[in-house]
Amino acid sequence: MFSDTLRQRLLVFSIGLIAMTTSYIASADTIDDKVDALLAKMTLPEKIGQMNQYNGFWDVTGPAPSEGDAEKKFSHLTQGLVGSVLNVSGVEQVRELQKLVVEESRLGIPLMFGLDVIHGHKTLSPIPLAEAASWDLQAIEKSARVAAIESSARGINWTFAPMVDISRDARWGRVMEGAGEDTYLGQKVGVARVKGFQGEDLSKPDTIAATAKHLAGYGFSEAGRDYNLVDVGNYTLYNVILPPFKSAVDAGVKTVMNSFNTLNGVPATASKLLQRDILKTQWGFDGFIISDWASTKEMIYHGYSEDLKHAAEQAVKAGSDMDMESYAYVNHLQELVQEGKVKESHIDDAVRRILKVKFELGLFDDPYRYVDDARETEQVYNAAHSQAALDMAKRSIVMLKNEQNLLPLSKEQKKIAVIGPLAEDKNSPLGSWRIGSDDNTAVSLLEGLANYTHDISYQKGADFILGEQSFIKELVVNESDTSGFPDAVALAKESDVVIMMLGEHGFHSGEARSRTKLDFPGVQQELLEAVYAVNKNIVLLVQTGRPLVLDWAEKHIPSILVTWQLGSQSGNAIAKVLFGDYNPSGKLPMSFPRSVGQVPLYYNVMQTGRPVTEGTVFWSHYIDERNDALFPFGHGLSYSHFTYSNLRIDDSNKKAIKVTVDVTNDSAMDGEEVVQLYIRDRVASLTRPIKELKGFEKISLKAAETESVQFTLTDDELGFYQLDGNFVVENGDFDVMVGTSSMSGIAGEFRL
Ligand code: BGC
């Protein structure tokens, strides 16, 4: 808590100043007028202050810092030299900090409070890649809505999500944070998440500003190594990487974050092309751009800026509006303007954008809009949020294989063995982005199963993580100790069914978690093979934040489900699926490779000049591995079985081509299916992929029910970007396929 003297000082200071500022603003009509009116009152340092973001740096409810960097940051707050902070959450903390700035700085401009609310805040939903696997846009939007309700109740009004980076490289740890390899799916998921976070009205206390990140190309880091260079041509930039950002902008996203990487030699933070030209000018984005953490400063290490001052100049000219933790703007922009190196109009533009979002959030009407003790108590870990997380989690599970109908398990099933260190883990299902949440709060698999049956015996088989599990430390995995194997094998031998949960810890994926091997870390594969040697009735649950190589499992294990990192309700969701209370409906948003050497791997490849000619040598292939995925994009099974028939194509109206298909649930169990439509533009002025997702619909079908599903293809789906960024639609022949995955469906054609 602040001392009483400090409190009194804050109170006295506030009177008059705030009243003066707000009355001045109130006389203006529109938000733009209000922004202009306020801007006219600001000194240059105050303007630059709005462009400065600091990390939360001390416990604001504790004593004010008195020395070093923290002291300087503290004084910047009261001088109006900070526009927003990140990583400060909780009503008490947020209120104290907001009060300090609103009451003590000259103009009292409220702070924005940003945080990585990536898949929930306290209550965690599945990681974003898992959510994308649901292909359920309503559920995804709802999940983001819940995250906004819970985080805003803790004082947050801005999330650094959704990440809309497309990635084809499972080695890159951050694939867990996006929607996978496909641009079209990525666009739809990104928009759903923006809508969920921002809601209908941003000024409501339970909606928060969203961030489309990271502009651009971050998912194409060379060799999947995080922070590495990105070298992609305009074809990929315009057709694969940028569309999800454009869709987020069209959906009204309020902020965009630039990225750590260089793109074709230019750090994204200094890319005028990406920020000022494409985003702000061509797309008309009227929100603001936040740098990534110290990405302005990192331009020095990239060898692009001589020093921090040079970096500030380059970033601001390129259109990066707010500096996260580089201290570049706050320390150097004033001098740069005075020296005539940076135009004040560039500063004004950035500040206008920032103030506009603050007005839209309603912060000038009430800077304490997001701080309400009662709401915090009511919303944090609210039961309805757990329910939503459970619903999202069960929809995110993907069944890869189910031979011999091992699943669903009967509720009367006796002698079930559960094996694997992850089965009892209450921490790793939370994933790596659980910054606001509490460790060890997930429902473990064992706990989830216990709600169904008590006829379960557990053996961990082997330890998994040795020592600390932390966001900032490398994990230490058990690579050698197999002393628990005999007990696990003995249990498997006397059981009817074995459920094995293997895979990655939550901290194996995420930022800075690139891998060269896509296997089960440690001795887990050995454990799987040892158990298999005595009991082949294995249901394998793969907990992971990225596609893994499951080649051995695919050959031997009858039932395999990808259970990702499913968040707070993980164990309950998995149990529902295993016992058939929920019929799995997820589909892979990323291809699962046969071998790491295939990566980057994606379904929408080019035909090449040497397409498949099996049995010969000189075609585009590997001599030691197939080209295709082990489990392709869009793949996912259900306990039901769906048949596709009667494809009808009506291309009489070239602006709205109708493709209709009948889908039948020819099983005895009600289920859901994601009906997927892919097209191929056979000949074009730039070569086009052999297939591209251009429509999908998730439908529910009762046992034996048939439904007709219709898709409409317009210019948006049929065109593509040329190398100068122009969008064109070209006449000619198209193939179309509608089906259950990117590799299975019924085909037709039409002419444009
Ligand atoms: C990440 C961003 C994140 C930021 C703030 C960076 O390291 O790349 O995605 O929003 O930190 O936590």
Which residue has its alpha carbon closest to ligand 1 atom 11? 293
Residue nearest to atom 7 of ligand 1 (CA): 293
Average the pLDDT over 125-147 and give the result. Answer: 98
Residue among 600, 590, 604 at smallest CA distance from 688: 604
Ligand 1 atom closest to Cα of 259? Answer: 8
- pLDDT, residue 285, reads 98
DSSP string of 382-405? -HHHHHHHHHHHHHH-EEEEEGGG
Q: Which atom of ligand 1 is nearest to the CA of 163?
A: 9
pLDDT band per the 50, 70, 90 thresholds, residue 454: confident
The candidate with the shortest Cα–Cα distance to 318, out of 266, 258, 261, 271, is 271
Q: How far is the CA of 290 from the centre of ligand 1 (A)?
A: 10
* pLDDT over threshold 60, residue 270: yes
**Is 11 a residue whose pLDDT tops 70?**
no
pLDDT for residue 455: 87
Instruction: For residue 160, give the ligand 1 atom closest to its CA.
Output: 10
Q: Is the pLDDT of residue 745 over 70?
A: yes
Tokens (6 digits) for 321: 């509006």
Q: If you count them, how many residues does the chain have?
A: 752
Quote the CA–CA distance of 577 and 566 in Å, as a whole number: 13
pLDDT at 13: 37
The predicted model gives 465-490 an average pLDDT of: 94
Report the pLDDT value the prediction gives residue 274, as an integer from 0 to 100: 98
- Quote the pLDDT of residue 413: 83
**pLDDT of 333 over the 90 cut:** yes
For 708-743, write each residue's pLDDT tens digit: 999 999 999 999 999 999 999 999 999 999 999 999
Distance 116 CA to ligand 1 centre (A): 7
Mean pLDDT score, 343-351: 98
For the segment 233-259, the average pLDDT, to the nearest whole number, is: 98
Give percent of the chain with pLDDT exceeding 90.
91
Task: Tell me the CA–centroid distance for residue 67 and ligand 1, in Å.
Answer: 27
Cβ of 213 less than 6 Å from ligand 1: yes
Q: What is the mean pLDDT of residues 390-410?
A: 96
**How many angstroms does the Cα of residue 161 sit away from the middle of ligand 1?**
10
The residue whose two tokens read 């079908």 is 701
**Residue 502 structure tokens:** 């293997």
CB distance 511 to ligand 1 below 6 Å? yes
Mean pLDDT over 519-547 rounds to 98
Q: Name the band, by pLDDT with cuts 50, 70 and 90, for residue 63.
A: low
C-beta 426 within 6 A of ligand 1: no
When pLDDT is averaged across residues 78-98 and rounded to a whole number, the result is: 96
Q: Whose CA is nearest to atom 8 of ligand 1?
A: 292
Task: List all residues 6 or more positions away from 176 whose beta carbon is below 8 Å from its beta carbon.
Answer: 127, 128, 129, 431, 432, 509, 510, 545, 546, 565
Ligand 1 centre from 163 Cα, in Å? 10
Q: In which residue are the tokens 């694969």 written?
A: 240
CB 682 within 8 A of CB 749: no
| 461 neighbors 531 (Cβ within 8 angstroms) | yes
- Regarding the beta carbon of 116 and ligand 1, being less than 6 Å apart is answered yes
Phi, psi of 648 (to 5 degrees): -120, 135
Residue at 4: amino acid letter: D
DSSP states of 295-343? TTTHHHHTTS-SSHHHHHHHHHHHT--BEES--HHHHHHHHHHHTTSS-
What per-residue confidence (pLDDT) applies to 20? Answer: 43
**Residue 260 Cα, ligand 1 centroid: separation in angstroms?**
9
Of 629, 42, 625, 619, the residue nearest 350 (C-alpha): 42
**pLDDT at residue 28 above 80?**
no
Determine which of 305-314, 439-448, 450-459, 563-572 has the lowest per-residue pLDDT on average: 450-459
Q: What is the mean pLDDT of residues 2-13?
A: 36
At 6 the pLDDT is: 34
The label of the residue with tokens 């009177």 reads 15
Q: Does the CB atom of residue 174 touch ligand 1 within 6 A? A: no
Separation of 227 CA from ligand 1 center, angstroms? 12
Give Cβ neighbours of residue 437 (< 8 Å, ≥ 6 apart).
Answer: 120, 121, 122, 123, 124, 430, 568
Quick: pLDDT tens for 155-208.
Answer: 999 999 999 999 999 999 999 999 999 999 999 999 999 999 999 999 999 999
Query: What does the pLDDT read at residue 25?
Result: 59
pLDDT (0 to 100) of residue 12: 36
Q: Which helix (H) or strand (E) element contains residue 76?
A: helix 68-78
From 151, 293, 297, 434, mutation site for ligand 1 pocket: most ligand atoms within 8 A of C-beta: 293
pLDDT at 65: 61
Q: Specify the residue with its C-alpha closest to ligand 1, atom 4.
A: 293
Residue to probe by mutation, ligand 1, list 292, 325, 472, 509, most atoms within 8 Å of CB: 292
Residue 14 reports pLDDT greater than 60: no
Out of 54, 88, 116, give the residue to mutate to test ligand 1, the one with the largest number of ligand atoms within 8 Å of its CB: 116
Ligand 1 mutation target, pool 86, 118, 160, most atoms within 8 A of CB: 160
292 is catalytic: yes
pLDDT of residue 743: 98
Check if 332 has its Cβ closer than 6 Å to any atom of ligand 1.
no
Rounded to the nearest whole angstrom, what is the distance from the C-alpha of residue 563 to the centroid of ligand 1? 25
Q: How confident is the model at residue 209 (pLDDT cuts 50, 70, 90)?
A: very high
- pLDDT band at residue 18 using 50, 70 and 90 as cut-offs: very low
**Amino acid letter, 63:** P
Mean predicted confidence (pLDDT) in 659-663: 98
In this structure, which residue's CA is closest to atom 2 in ligand 1?
Answer: 292
Number of other CB atoms surrounding residue 261 within 10 Å: 27
Query: What percentage of residues in the chain have a pLDDT greater than 70?
Result: 95
Q: Which is higher by pLDDT, 73 or 96?
A: 96
Residue 399 contacts residue 584 (beta carbons within 8 Å)? yes
Predicted local confidence at residue 614, as pLDDT: 84
Q: Does the beta carbon of 293 lie inside 6 Å of ligand 1?
A: yes
Q: Output the pLDDT for position 2.
A: 35
CB of 434 sitting under 6 A from ligand 1: no
The pick from 511, 513, 514 for probing ligand 1's pocket by mutation, whose C-beta has the most ligand atoms within 8 angstroms, reads 511
Q: How far is the CA of 212 from the centre of ligand 1 (A)?
A: 12
What order do you get walking across the sheet with 642-650 strand by strand?
Answer: 642-650, 657-665, 706-713
| Nearest to 611, CA basis, from 680, 512, 510 | 680
For ligand 1, what atom is nearest to the CA of residue 435?
Answer: 12
Give the active site residue among 136, 169, 206, 292. 292
- DSSP letter for 239, please: I
Residue 491 has pLDDT above 60, yes or no: yes
* Inter-axis angle of helices 137-152 and 183-198, nearest 10: 40
Q: Exposed (0-12), middle (13-18) or buried (19+): which is 234, by Cβ within 10 Å?
A: middle
Cα torsion 209, 213, 215, 218 to 10°: value is 170
Rounded-to-integer distance, Cα 179 and Cα 186, Å: 5
Query: Which pTM value belongs to this model?
Result: 0.96
Residue 471, pLDDT above cutoff 90: no
Distance 1 CA to ligand 1 centre (A): 29
Does residue 433's CB lie within 6 angstroms of at least one atom of ligand 1? no
Instruction: Provide mean pLDDT across the span 413-430.
Output: 96
Whether 22 has a pLDDT exceeding 80, the answer reads no
Please give the distance, rounded to the nearest whole angstrom, from the Cα atom of residue 84 to the centre of ligand 1: 15
Atom 6 of ligand 1, residue of closest alpha carbon: 293
Least confident of 228-242, 290-304, 466-480: 466-480
Label residue 22 exposed, middle or buried (CB < 10 Å: 0-12, 13-18, 19+): middle
pLDDT of the residue at 453: 84
Handedness of CA 307, 313, 314, 316 (dihedral sign): positive
- Confidence at residue 4, expressed as pLDDT on a 0 to 100 scale: 37
At 553, phi and psi to the nearest 5?
-60, -40
Is 292 close to ligand 1, i.e. is its CB under 6 Å away? Answer: yes
Residue 470 has a pLDDT of: 87
pLDDT in tens, 375-386: 999 999 999 999
